[in-house]
Amino acid sequence: EPRESKNFIEQAIESDLASGRFDGVFTRFPPEPNGYLHIGHAKSICLNFGLAKKYGGTCNLRFDDTNPAKEDVEYVDSIMDDIRWLGFQWDNLHYASDYFDQLFQWAEKLIREGHAYVCDLNADETRQYRGTLTEPGRNSPHRDRSPEENLKLFHAMRDGEFPDGAKTLRAKIDMASPNINLRDPVMYRIMRAHHHRTGDKWCIYPMYDWTHGQSDSIEGITFSNCTLEFENHRPLYDWYCEKLGIHHPRQIEFAKLKLSTLLIGKRHMLRMVKEGLVDGWDDPRMPTIRGYRRRGYTPESIRNFCSEIGVAKFPGTIDIVRLENSIREHLNRLAPRRMAVLDPLKLTITNWPAGHVETTEAVNNPGDPESGSREMAFSGSLWIEQDDFREEAPRKFFRLKKGGSVRLRAGYIIDCHDVVKDDDGNVIEVLCTYDPETKSGEDTSGRKVKGTIHWVSADHAKEVEVRLYDRLFAVEDPSVCAEGQTFVDHLNPDSLKVITGYVEPELANAEIGDRVQFERLGYFIVDIDSTPEKRVFNRIVTLRDTWGK
Ligand code: ATP
Ligand code: MG
Ligand code: MG
């Protein structure tokens, strides 16, 4: 534990605890239920739950459900499920919509005290009056209404007396502020939309900025961690808390997670799902938690990744290889080794006694002696990988070649003396002899060969469907597009190949969710599409990074 130095958020927390500004670490994870969680959210989850745990505080889950037009219970349920899957449990569950009554009363208070007014400008006009980065805004013509008139109009807004968009409630701050967020920001808009929790009770809905800090405050949050795009909103967050005179949490901003070769915004993911470019939110190529889960990532590998990358104050891109290495590292310890041939070539042992079948002993995980070994059927008719044979090969090719020798893992040393070809000259069968003195574990021959390859016994192997997943995008930064292109043009056309594989017979009974290493090929998980007749294996990740070469 004591390995790491403290990140800037931990430093801020410790200084505030030491000075007595706060007496505990109360955090929250505040998703908007308008999509599925992605790997960026995992970072925020690990951060907020992690801080609460580290400092003996609490972490709430709060749905920031202020925009009924885009939100849905489907997302609420999936978010809770994904957080639990990642291994976290919130101390309290809240919805910003539970605070709508309180927010309304607080808005009345600001109106009475002259800090908010009802404005009749429509959305376009409001934008025009707001000014730009270089130009100050102009006061709304309705800015000087009396508190009494504002209160009456605000109630009429709530009571449904005006059409959608006809009026807003705005905070009265400073139309000349260099920070545009302080130029009389909108607090409420009129919007007749059905809310997944409050139904049709409201036809006015509070804006994000008018909701977020107050929700934090109500819950007694002390450290409100959010991403950098809210840095410019912090003065507004502080202004609302101060004017209301309520508990005032500290907002701290950190950089969003950005991963090379990926686009992880909800907007992009929604487009891919809607256009059928992927197979839904849980497509194993998607950067959603659901996607990683189905792909075969473990919660631990994602948590480890988040803790290793830490939090940063400035934007940057994390190499995707770090995430891939995190699952490799975990599965290297966890996953039993099994043999599977994915691109089969027939190999016949010509001196094998006809019909004879032997068992050989194969180690389950060389890194974990406790995992023991298993028996495999060995016969004179095998499948090996096409890639492991060359009729003619350079000297450095240590797999099997004509006139060469190789060890079959957990089997014998074999010597290749001939091949069988089809009419087009393709090798369709490899003919070998085996050396009876060389059985793995009881080798008395003293022979040494450079290469070892995997195999399965043709008569014993079972067929399974194998989905070879690869990166969704083929470029470092899919957001960089030439004119007339969009990120969709960067999709990797080879991100999925579906093939038939030949596996050790027991794997045909593997349970959904089981993870294995196919020796020399990669890590695989049994997919939910599996049936009793046919197992489906997803490739989680290859054994090594093959993109970096
Ligand atoms: P998106 O960009 O996908 O729309 P969002 O920020 O709008 O994300 P929210 O549901 O509002 O999504 O996010 C919940 C929390 O997760 C917020 O505190 C947000 O800052 C954080 N978060 C979202 N994306 C990332 C990311 N890429 N890295 C770190 N934290 C993130
Ligand atoms: Mg958001
Ligand atoms: Mg968003």
Residue nearest to atom 16 of ligand 1 (CA): 41
pLDDT digits (tens, 9 = 90+) for 302-346: 999 999 999 999 999 999 999 999 999 999 999 999 999 999 999
Residue nearest to atom 13 of ligand 1 (CA): 31
What is this model's ipTM?
Answer: 0.96
Whether the per-residue pLDDT at 547 is higher than 90: the answer is: no
pLDDT digits (tens, 9 = 90+) for 186-205: 999 999 999 999 999 999 99
Ligand at minimal distance from the CA of 252 is: 1
Share of the chain above pLDDT 90, in %: 95
Q: Is the CB of 43 under 6 A from ligand 1?
A: yes
| Predicted local confidence at residue 503, as pLDDT | 98
Q: Is the CB of 360 under 6 A from ligand 1?
A: no
State the pLDDT confidence band at 134, using cuts at 50, 70 and 90: very high
| Predicted local confidence at residue 3, as pLDDT | 53
User: Closest Cα partner for 169 from 109, 237, 111?
Assistant: 111
| Predicted local confidence at residue 541, as pLDDT | 97
| Predicted local confidence at residue 1, as pLDDT | 47
User: Closest Cα partner for 521 from 549, 496, 546?
Assistant: 546
Core vs surface per residue 58-88: b (16+ CB within 10 A) or e: bbbbbbbbbbbeebeeebbebbbebbeebeb
Query: Residue 408 in contact with residue 326, Cβ under 8 Å?
Result: no
User: Closest Cα partner for 51 from 63, 41, 59, 40?
Assistant: 59
Q: Please, which residues bridge with residue 63 across strands? A: 95
CA dihedral 296, 301, 306, 309 (to 10 degrees): -110
| Predicted local confidence at residue 338, as pLDDT | 97
Q: Is the CB of 227 under 6 A from ligand 1?
A: yes
Residue nearest to atom 14 of ligand 1 (CA): 31
Query: Residue 95 in contact with residue 65, Cβ under 8 Å?
Result: yes
Query: Residue 501 in contact with residue 537, Cβ under 8 Å?
Result: yes
pLDDT digits (tens, 9 = 90+) for 234-247: 999 999 999 999 99
CA of 212 to the centre of ligand 2 (A): 10
Q: Is the CB of 261 under 6 A from ligand 1?
A: no
Domains of the chain: 8-254 (3.40.50.620), 266-336+464-541 (2.40.240.10), 340-454 (2.40.240.10)
Residue 33 exposed, middle or buried by CB count within 10 Å (0-12, 13-18, 19+)? buried
Residue 39 labelled as part of a binding site: yes
Share of the chain above pLDDT 70, in %: 99
Residue 34 labelled as part of a binding site: yes
State the pLDDT confidence band at 369, using cuts at 50, 70 and 90: confident
